[in-house]
Structure 1
């Protein structure tokens, strides 16, 4: 039987305000990047557009690239991973939760999702930071996967496996963006997981 994610307490007023501020900073950053290009999007311009101080932007996002690369969904992914059927192979569990997250992003935030992928290809600093944030997400999912499989939280095989899956999906997203985002991303990611499962045919 699948484990149920732990209930979360309601957010207090201060926490809700912080989330709204983070969301507004992200929103204006995407708009400015689409209109002016990433290099022109300074902390000062983001702060002005979001009607906050530059120090507030830096407090929420010490690394500018994180504005377009991070969100609050990692904890949700971990909970969904823990809730997958207990007998399901780990690769299929990761396929299910990660592809569903991408599918949701393309439906709910299509412009932002496509812009993020384009910046990954065009801006070296964004791509470099993506590698770091992907590693952080992999560590978090590895802990959840270790819990599901009864392994140690710092198990080498779990860490390598999870990092490999996320790294492969990141590379597939870059592949998609390099080719003008012409194909459907989710089937490409599904194909990527198949390649991890089946290996490279000769």
Structure 2
């Protein structure tokens, strides 16, 4: 019973976050990121400003917060440890992105709107670096390395793969999402890593 209630609360929390973020992205797109206040987002979402801050501690989080680290970690666990690190990480990033963008069209449009905001707003571009680091550490944790040298190599590989992915994300946004994002990520990886990226393409 307690477990069922905990699951229900988690679903309710996720839905509240989804609604708040959807209204935030819509308002930021319509009015501009800097011109829109958190209070206006709260009013549009039908919640209090305190509720917004409970789910999104900063205004930047309203655009950039996501749960993609867990999805990437799941995909990474399905790769073979015998493969080069950049190939394993690249494959996981491509597969996770395919899950996010090749299903529900609304989810795809939401991601595209968030990316456009990130590119256009300086405060969001700066905060994106924090998200980049958090995802990098999630990847390192998922690889399960514990020794200093292995951790260093994993961080270097993850950082390089994420840099290639960022380049693909920017191009995808500039092209209005008309191309396949997983394919663009695989293309960016191939440009960066050559043969080591084989197996990351879709």
Q: Same fold (TM over 0.5)?
A: yes
Query: Compared with structure 1, are the counterparts of its residues 102 and 41 closer, same or farther at alpha carbon in structure 2 (3 Å cutoff)?
Result: farther
Q: 1:155 aligns with which of 151, 157, 182?
A: 151
Q: CA deviation at 1:31?
A: 2.2
Q: CA-atom RMSD, angstroms?
A: 2.4
Work out whether 1:126 is the aligned partner of 2:121: no
- For residues 80 and 183 of structure 1, do their structure 2 counterparts lie closer, same or farther at Cα, with a shift above 3 Å needed? closer
Question: Residue deviations 1:148-187, cap 9 Å, x none?
Answer: xx55277212111111111221133224434555544332
Aligned position for 1:137: 135
* Residues 121 and 178 in structure 1, CA contact (< 8 A), matched pair in contact too: no
CA distance in 1, matches of 2:194, 2:71: 29
User: Which residue of structure 1 aligns with residue 56 of structure 2?
Assistant: 61
Give the TM-score normalised by structure 2. 0.81
Query: Structure 1, unaligned stretches of length 5 or more?
Result: 1-8
**Deviation (angstroms), 1:81:** 0.9
User: What residue number does 1:198 align with?
Assistant: 194
Aligned pairs, number:
188
TM-score (norm 1): 0.81
CA contact (8 A) 2:119 2:125 kept: yes
In structure 1, the residue matched to 2:160 is 164
SS in 2 for 1:38: coil
Match of 1:116 in 2: 114
1:177 equivalent among 173, 176, 198: 173
Q: How many Å separate the matches in 2 of 1:187 and 1:19?
A: 29
In structure 1, C-alpha distance between the alignment counterparts of 2:111 and 2:12, rounded to whole Å: 24
Residue 3 of structure 1 corresponds to which residue in structure 2? none
Q: What SS class does the counterpart of residue 81 from structure 2 fall into?
A: coil
Q: In the aligned structure 1, how far is the partner of 2:119 from the partner of 2:16?
A: 28
Closer, same or farther in 2 for the Cα pair 1:119/1:141, shift >3 Å?
same
Match of 1:13 among 8, 11, 36: 8
Structure 2 gap segments, 5+ residues each:
196-202
Q: Which residue of 1 aligns with 2:82?
A: 87
